[in-house]
Structure 1
Amino acid sequence: MSAPLMPTPLPPPYAGAGPDGVLRTYLVADDALAARLCRGAVLSRQVLGRQLGLAAVGVLAACAATLFAGDVAVTVAATIFMVVFMAFFGCLMVGTIMLVSRSRMRRLVPAGTPMSAEFTPLWIGHRVGATYSVIPLERFDRVVAGPTVVMLCTRRRPVVLLPRELVPPQVIADYESRYGRSGRPGR
């Protein structure tokens, strides 16, 4: 006969939480907030790592293709060309993404927009203007806490993007203990 299952205790609320166990933060968006959110999301290690990986595959493919030509000078020239081309193409892509994302972010979070977040060890709630969402933390499989933004991701895609000043240090410490400094669970 096995022992009865004991219910798992609820985690304690974050330090500074109210009597209901919810830690609340607020801010009003300034002129630069949309640009900071966009820059933090687009230039995160997660996005840049993917782009660098694609560039490396392109350069390796070019090297392999020119090696079959048998001429060392052609291989070196093709490799240099591919590196320059991929660097140019990567900068062009990042610039385009930044431009499109920044204008979209400015429409979503114009200056003067009230923003708030609610944190418990089980869920996160966030408000941008009149839009409010509550999402259980178990839905996220990665949290990336950058210098300007905190991204809560599902399958490597950001679901929630918060300005760093909206996320208290004790919450970031909890996320780092859950997901590790790299942002992945269990690390």
Structure 2
Amino acid sequence: RSELLARYLEDHPEMAGGVVAEESGRAALAWAATDAVNQRLEEVTAVHDARRADQLALVRRYRFLSPALLAQEVLVDAAGTGDARFARFQSQVRAFAEEWRQFFVPAILAGEQMTAAVLPDVPTFRFADEDSSQVAGRAAIPLTVLGGLVVLVIGGAGVGLGRVRGTD
């Protein structure tokens, strides 16, 4: 366990000055373990994100071949659960996690007790959502393509119906 803390402090020398070696040093050890888990999680997440980006690039490349994919893209974006909004959320959460870490870790490593006096200074997360014009901009091309397909289908149906009725 102390090896884990020593490795953490070696990786983060700026934090080494305030570490308490006594009983309260358990919080520092707990943070070092948490940090080790977080680093491994980031590695796994990076691999997942890269594979997901490849999948999304493939779908975006061929989406115009499938009206269902186009419709899904527009509806998911309109519902606020699209990939662009999620990426924006993830980015803001990661930035907040770093802000949170910078606020708490020095106190944890120094063995400081948290009091109610620090509560107003605790970082809070506020999601900065995108403008609806950005969503509309992303939806414009797929909606235009879908509209064009509808016109083609209706036009084709009209021509076919005219032939069936014999008004060619």
What range describes the TM-score normalised by the shorter chain of this pair? under 0.3
Please tell me whether Structure 1 or Structure 2 has the larger radius of gyration of its CA atoms. 2
TM-score (norm 2): 0.27
Which one has a larger percent helix, Structure 1 or Structure 2? 2
- TM-score relative to the length of structure 1: 0.25
Which one has a larger percent strand, Structure 1 or Structure 2?
Answer: 1
Q: Which has the higher contact order (CA 8 A, sep 6+)?
A: 2
